[in-house]
Amino acid sequence: MKVTGIIAEYNPFHKGHEYHLKETRSSLGSDYIIVVMSGNYVQRGAPTIIDKYSRAEMALRCGADLVLELPACFSTASAEYFAFGGIAILDKLNVVDDLCFGTESLDRQIDRNDPEILIRKFGEIADVLINEPEEFRSVLKESMKTGLSHAAAVSEAIGAVLGDEYVALLERSNNILGVEYMRAIKILKSSIRPVPVARMLSSHKDTQIAQGFSSATAIRNAVFNKYDLNSLSSTVPKAVYDILMDRYLVTFPIFRDDFSIILGEKLLSAKDNSDLTRYFGVPKDLANRFLKLRNEYRTFNQFRELSYTKNINKATVGRALMHITLGILDTDMTKLYNRQNLSAVKVLGFREQAGPLLSAIKKNAEIELVTKLADYRPDPDRDGVDMIEQTTRMDMLYRMVAMNKFDVDIPTPYEQEIIKF
């Protein structure tokens, strides 16, 4: 049995994702594909435009065999944590052979004919990040002193150790994820083999709908700006289009600004910076900036635009604000960034034909598959926050926001049935 893992957001699912699934199955000869997918919140510091069960259904209808949830503590964090959470889940299943991920760099002829070249380079960068040689630490420290953002300083330090061609690799977000997948595989001593495939045509940063392949960003922008949703029919699979149209203005779309009152209350109730630095990803300087600007607060998006600086980019600010909104504490992540504390994972859906895969997981896995939330019981002997319970609380918040926005009843996480296709 050949099993391949994919770590994704699918916010929402589009034809590029469908291509990825098909290419994975055909090029690797995968019998089964397991997707570890972000739940109702994503890495850019935002709620998903449509709920996790709808997105799991999209993935299953378009080629995935099993969809597991990446807990919110990882799905809302930077690439290092996002990758660690996804790899740790796949690794603990003890059935996954490969991890297949997209990259822009395989568009270049030098790497197209030999993806192993790219994997080797990613591995070399990962080794530097893990071992932090003296030259790396020295350049990183000096670069931070000049006012560079942390990401830019890391890139400069990597260049000092490995050369400019490695810096160029880190200019692409999917490559950054590729490096972090490699770092997680090495840290966890996982036997999972990383396999890159070329992204199709559209960059994830493209903002306009195009015929064929469009980015998730472009699709979200089209929905946000209330374009004719018929325009999406050319860029998402028919099954996905049908789901989007069926749930439009019923339970979707959900945006950052739908959480504005919740975030505003958290900011206004903070007495000093310590009330904000306790949240994950909120350093003292950013907390002070939030406090300085909070009287100008109107909405989540407006405040994110107001708060970012040359040294602190929008993504970092967005994640920090979402962690404040959701109540993800720094102490939570200290406990959760640990393979041992990842003891259970929520099943969002599976294909009926995936019976042999589920049997193999049940036999070999070191992690509990939670199919019915009402029956889940955290390990009473384990010290630390429980990821399933934490994510459930955040799902209740997403549900309340959606019910208020659309005046609709939505099942609680305890009542929601997993998707079977």
pLDDT of residue 201: 52
Q: State the DSSP H helix or E strand holding residue 140, giving kind and residue range, or none if neither.
A: helix 134-145
Domain-located, residue 196: yes
Q: DSSP state, 416? A: P
Query: Domain check: are 244 and 275 in the same one?
Result: no
Domain-located, residue 223: no
Query: Domain check: are 320 and 345 in the same one?
Result: no
Domain-located, residue 230: no
Beta-strand runs (E) in 155-250: 193-198
Final residue belonging to a domain, choices 278, 311, 333: 333
Query: Domain check: are 384 and 402 in the same one?
Result: yes
Residue (of 368, 330, 373) closest to 89 by Cα position: 368
Query: Domain check: are 295 and 398 in the same one?
Result: no
Residue (of 199, 171, 227, 179) closest to 80 by Cα position: 179
Query: Domain check: are 277 and 343 in the same one?
Result: no
Burial 175-209, CB ≥16 within 10 A → b, else e? bbbbbbbbbbbeebebebebbbbbbbbbeeebeeb
pTM over the 0.85 mark? yes
CB atoms closer than 10 angstroms to residue 228: 8
Rounded to whole angstroms, how far apart are CA atoms 187 and 146? 31
Query: Domain check: are 241 and 307 in the same one?
Result: no
pLDDT of residue 48: 98
Domain-located, residue 28: yes
DSSP-derived 3-state class of residue 378: coil
Rounded to whole angstroms, how far apart are CA atoms 258 and 270? 21
Query: Domain check: are 320 and 382 in the same one?
Result: no
For residue 201, give its domain range.
1-104+190-205+236-254+339-421
Q: Report CA dihedral (104, 154, 332, 75) to the nearest 10 degrees.
A: -10
Domain-located, residue 126: no
Domain count, the chain: 2
Query: Domain check: are 246 and 343 in the same one?
Result: yes
The answer to whether the CB of 48 falls within 8 A of the CB of 41 is: yes
The answer to whether the CB of 33 falls within 8 A of the CB of 128 is: no
Distances (CA, A) of 261 to 37, 256, 407: 27, 11, 17
Query: Domain check: are 100 and 9 in the same one?
Result: yes
Query: Domain check: are 283 and 396 in the same one?
Result: no
The per-residue pLDDT string of the chain (421 residues; one tens digit each, 9 = 90 and over) reads 999 999 999 999 999 999 999 999 999 999 999 999 999 999 999 999 999 999 999 999 999 999 999 999 999 999 999 999 999 999 999 999 999 998 877 654 444 447 888 999 999 999 999 999 999 999 999 998 888 888 899 999 999 999 999 999 998 888 999 999 999 999 999 999 999 988 765 444 555 555 567 889 989 998 998 777 888 888 999 999 999 999 999 999 999 999 999 999 999 999 999 999 999 999 999 999 999 999 999 999 999 999 999 888 899 999 999 999 999 999 988 888 887 888 999 999 999 999 999 999 999 999 999 999 999 998 766 667 899 999 999 999 999 999 999 999 999 999 999 999 9
Query: Domain check: are 247 and 376 in the same one?
Result: yes
**Torsion angles phi and psi, residue 111, rounded to 5:** -100, -20
Domain holding 72: CATH number? 3.40.50.620
Domain-located, residue 155: no
Domain-located, residue 364: yes
The answer to whether the CB of 215 falls within 8 A of the CB of 16 is: yes
Query: Domain check: are 248 and 260 in the same one?
Result: no
Rounded to whole angstroms, how far apart are CA atoms 45 and 26? 34
Final residue belonging to a domain, choices 286, 311, 333: 333
Domain-located, residue 57: yes
Final residue belonging to a domain, choices 333, 348, 370: 333
